[in-house]
Amino acid sequence: MGIAPATDDGSTKVQDQHAYFKVNNLRKLFPLNKRGQFWGKRQYIHAVDDVSFEIKKGMTYGVVGESGCGKTTLARTMMHLEEPTSGEMLFKGDDITKFNRKQMTSLRRQMQMVFQDPYGSLNPVRTIHNIVAEPVRVHSIFDNKRDEIDKVREMLEVVGLPSDNQTLEKRPNEFSGGERQRIGIARSLILEPEFIVADEPVSMLDASVRADIISLMRRLKQERDLTYFFITHEFGMARAICDRIAVMYAGRLVEVANAAAIVDHPLHPYTQLLIDAIPPLIPDENWGKTIPEGEVPYFTVPPPGCRFNPRCYKADELCRSEMPELIDYRNGHYVSCHHVSGPGQIKK
Ligand SMILES: Nc1ncnc2c1ncn2[C@@H]1O[C@H](COP(=O)(O)OP(=O)(O)OP(=O)(O)O)[C@@H](O)[C@H]1O
Ligand SMILES: [Mg+2]
């Protein structure tokens, strides 16, 4: 399968006018309490708050942010596993938030998810055969067992696992974490999707097998012409594999740019903090001493101003009172910070 030449942002050229996957002003709020405790008003966690971005076909689009910033909620909403509170999601030009059941069934064959937890996401009582075959059964792809078994074997080989009868009859607990994630990947690819949403696919694995799974995912992307939406909390991981990176903080995107631009020239103080948190290759006893403490807050009533202002060394009155817009600083390098005042202009 040939891949079109990559553009400067790493994407392959889209044939039509539409962006491949476009998200406009997406919001996902979770109700916090059944009955309002606050003057009878119901309170909500703003897990994804007014998020917009665009993924081009063939790219690996990364979302980076600390625990609790809304990455999984964003991924699950894109996969229709959560209903969006508001906003649009366009896949190849169609607004998938308005899809009916039949359209959703066909969409599910094109978009699949790889989950974070290779231990919890595979049903422990089912055999590997049943786990990998499940999507083709749900979609009634084969009408005989022989074709189904052949396809399951093919998928196991594709992800580098044995495909003999004995392996097919094993259960997940007979495999290591890395092998289980390979099984999860085989299951997500059996319907031959084109768009993969991977939610921290290696964060629960030992360092020794992480690189193997990442190189497997890279190879599969090439061979199968896939587009990836890749979530991670480690900036170093995003830098290594993504073409474009969006940095998320407390439900909002604070910076979006091509990987090289964001690494060489981070504009948002939060992105700078994430880059400073990448461990150095050569141990340095001063590393980490400049990283400010703090956790991603969750908001039921978001305060005015920039969400990052309580942790930001640049925060001033404006940052505490007005939410900065996500603006195009230079050639598609977007940032949401009052200290970047306009195209190409940084304030002290
Ligand atoms: N089903 C739910 N009901 C209520 N609140 C939820 C639900 N799912 C997520 N949240 C809340 O939404 C916020 C974002 O959670 P989410 O799991 O999306 O973050 P995350 O960035 O994926 O974190 P992690 O890195 O730990 O996986 C958190 O405050 C979380 O508690
Ligand atoms: Mg998560």
CA of 143 from ligand 1 middle (Å) equals: 40
Residue minimizing CA distance to atom 17 of ligand 1? 72
Contacts of 178 (CB under 8 A, 6+ apart): 118, 205, 206, 209, 212, 213
Q: Which ligand is nearest to the CA of 45?
A: 1
Q: Which of 26, 30, 270 to mutate to test the pocket of ligand 1 (most atoms within 8 A of CB)?
A: 30
Residue minimizing CA distance to atom 13 of ligand 1? 47
**Residue 231 CB burial class (10 angstroms; 0-12, 13-18, ≥19):** buried
In this structure, which long-range contacts are made by residues 165-174, counting pairs with CB atoms below 8 Å and at least 24 apart in sequence? Answer: 167/128, 168/127, 168/128, 168/129, 169/127, 169/128, 169/129, 170/127, 170/128, 171/124, 171/125, 171/126, 171/127, 171/128, 172/119, 172/122, 172/123, 172/124, 172/126, 172/128, 172/131, 173/124
CA of 73 from ligand 1 middle (Å) equals: 6
Chosen CATH of 21-346 out of 3.90.1720.10, 3.40.50.300, 1.10.460.10, 3.40.50.720? 3.40.50.300
Q: What is the pLDDT of residue 198?
A: 97
Instruction: Give pLDDT < 70 ranges for the chain.
Output: 1-18, 33-41, 279-300, 341-348
Residue minimizing CA distance to atom 5 of ligand 1? 30
Q: Which ligand is nearest to the CA of 71?
A: 1
Residue minimizing CA distance to atom 30 of ligand 1? 68
Kindly give the number of the ligand 1 atom that is closest to the alpha carbon of 248: 21
Residue minimizing CA distance to atom 2 of ligand 1? 30
CA of 72 from ligand 2 middle (Å) equals: 4
Q: Taking CB atoms and a 6 Å cutoff, what residues make up the pocket around ligand 1?
A: 30, 45, 47, 65, 67-73, 233, 298
Residue minimizing CA distance to atom 18 of ligand 1? 70
All structural domains of the chain with their residue ranges: 21-346
Q: What is the pLDDT of residue 293?
A: 59
Q: Which two tokens stand for residue 146?
A: 């022989």
**Residue 16 CB burial class (10 angstroms; 0-12, 13-18, ≥19):** exposed
CA of 235 from ligand 2 middle (Å) equals: 15
Kindly give the number of the ligand 1 atom that is closest to the alpha carbon of 82: 1
Helices (H), 254-301: 259-264, 269-276
Q: What is the pLDDT of residue 38?
A: 52
Q: Which ligand is nearest to the CA of 68?
A: 1
Q: Which of 28, 33, 72 to mutate to test the pocket of ligand 1 (most atoms within 8 A of CB)?
A: 72
Which residue type is seen at 269? P
Distance between CA atoms of residues 74 and 90, nearest Å? 14
- Ion ligand 2 neighbours, Cβ < 5 Å: 71-72
Residue minimizing CA distance to atom 12 of ligand 1? 47
Kindly give the number of the ligand 1 atom that is closest to the alpha carbon of 116: 27
Nearest to 29 by CA among 46, 52, 51, 50: 46
Pairing of strands 227-232, 244-249: unpaired
CA of 285 from ligand 2 middle (Å) equals: 30
Q: What is the pLDDT of residue 211?
A: 93
Strands (E) in the chain, as ranges, are: 21-31, 44-55, 60-64, 86-91, 94-95, 111-114, 195-199, 227-232, 244-249, 252-258, 327-330, 333-335, 340-342, 345-346
Kindly give the number of the ligand 1 atom that is closest to the alpha carbon of 32: 4
Q: What is the pLDDT of residue 295?
A: 61
Q: Which of 28, 46, 73, 115 to mutate to test the pocket of ligand 1 (most atoms within 8 A of CB)?
A: 73
Which residue type is seen at 250? A
Q: Which two tokens stand for residue 223?
A: 């061979």
